[in-house]
Structure 1
Amino acid sequence: MKYKIHISADVQTEKIGEGTTIWQFCVILKDARIGKNCNINCNVFIENDVVIGNDVTIKPGVQIWDGVTLEDNVFIGPNVTFTNDLIPRSKQYPIDFSKTLIKKGASIGANSTIIAGNTIGESALIGAGSVVTKSIPAHHIFYGNPAVHSGYITKEGKIVNLDMIDKEGNHYHFINSELVLR
């Protein structure tokens, strides 16, 4: 199986990696690039200047606009909204759209809004319903409106509080941008 596209999807790109599944009622424009083993759920819109890495999950109701890059192993929850124009006006388009980068292993919770021009760091976690107005460092947890720093998360998904302690009482610290046991 090269990749699987549901009959009701309008997929114009041919740049799709092996093992990717694209579900019902998706629209994917011709210049989008999609990696291997991705799962793009129903009702997703992907514009032209979009790069999606390998093993990415995109839940229903997401729109990914020009200028957005999702690296490998990213999770995008239902109804996440990306923006790409900081001063949107009807029938007026910027010369270049703002670039947004979601780094490897990051997860963005349902109904979050990611304002254009920001980077979400590796393995970071954005809580459901958050509005991200600035770049988020690797392994940080942010949530709220606007999203605020609320803790840390390991590459394996273990939650660590602001004092760098997990619920079992283990202490953590950063070494070369990785959150590890002390």
Structure 2
Amino acid sequence: MQDVYIHPAAIVETDQIGAGSRIWAHAHLLGGATVGANCNLGDGVFLEGGAIVGNNVTLKNHVCVWDGVVIEDDVFVGPCVAFTNDRYPRSPRMPSVAQRYAEKENWLECTMVRRGVTIGANATILPGVELGAYCVVAAGAVVTRNVAPFALVAGTPARETGSVCRCGRPLGGSFRELECLCCGETPQQRLDLLQPNEVSPS
């Protein structure tokens, strides 16, 4: 692990950490977790085996990322964000559900966080959803379904309330139509960032 900083109070059981990443106090990374380059994992972050974190990702304090959660590059996850991976959880130690939990495919629902996403503090992300590229999830929101690229969602359950620019600022209208007053990015520049399968009908 080249040029990786690991705080003495962190517990790191994986060697899959990219160059330049920083792991702070009381973080716990299980074996089988993957962290890309130039990431910053704050105090108390927990990564389960099978969790995947891309490059240039910030996980603020006390974020838990479970098996089946994939976080692409350039993502910001605010403090105490809750990911989940089981829509109908029971204690796997309960004898009557042992058969269900014997095989991962019986319960695991994967979550995809696309590049450039921002997730505000204390948001909850239910399993099996996709957060589209550069979308913003407001603090405290509960996401129960897929979020479109560049969308701003808020509330419980989360609903789309507008669009944002790649720089994160709200646009006051569609990301397809408005130039950003903050950074000057044009609608076409945003569309050029998306793959064809990410561009939903107007």
Query: How does the TM-score come out when normalised to structure 1?
Result: 0.90
> C-alpha separation between the residues in 1 aligned to 2:180 and 2:74?
26
Aligned to 2:84: 83
> C-alpha separation between the residues in 2 aligned to 1:150 and 1:58?
25
> C-alpha separation between the residues in 2 aligned to 1:81 and 1:72?
19
Aligned residues: 178
Pick one of 148, 156, 168 that aligns with 1:145. Answer: 156
Aligned to 1:70: 71
Conserved? CA contact 1:150–1:161, under 8 Å:
no
Aligned to 1:154: 165
1:167 is displaced (CA, Å) by: 8.5
1:89 is displaced (CA, Å) by: 0.5
**1:51 aligned onto 2:60:** no
Please give the secondary structure, in 1, of the residue aligned with 2:37.
coil
Cα RMSD (Å) of the superposition? 2.2
Question: Amino acid of the residue matched to residue 8 of structure 1?
Answer: A
Judged with a 3 Å threshold, the aligned counterparts in structure 2 of structure 1 residues 9 and 177 are, in CA distance, closer, same or farther, namely closer
Question: Amino acid of the residue matched to residue 120 of structure 1?
Answer: L
Conserved? CA contact 2:136–2:168, under 8 Å:
no
**1:95 aligned onto 2:98:** no
Aligned to 1:119: 130
Please give the secondary structure, in 2, of the residue aligned with 1:142.
strand
| Structure 1 unaligned residues grouped into runs of 5+ | none
1:162 is displaced (CA, Å) by: 4.0
Conserved? CA contact 1:81–1:113, under 8 Å:
yes
More strand by share: 1
1:60-101 deviation digits (Å, cap 9, x = unpaired): 011111100100000000000000001100114352311101
Aligned to 1:7: 8
Question: Amino acid of the residue matched to residue 98 of structure 1?
Answer: E
1:158 is displaced (CA, Å) by: 3.0
**1:131 aligned onto 2:142:** yes
* Identity rate, percent: 36
Conserved? CA contact 1:67–1:84, under 8 Å:
yes
1:99-123 deviation digits (Å, cap 9, x = unpaired): 1010000000000000000000110
1:172 is displaced (CA, Å) by: 5.2
1:157 is displaced (CA, Å) by: 2.3
Query: How does the TM-score come out when normalised to structure 2?
Result: 0.81
| Structure 2 unaligned residues grouped into runs of 5+ | none
Aligned to 1:36: 37
Pick one of 101, 106, 115 that aligns with 1:104. Answer: 115
Please give the secondary structure, in 2, of the residue aligned with 1:141.
strand
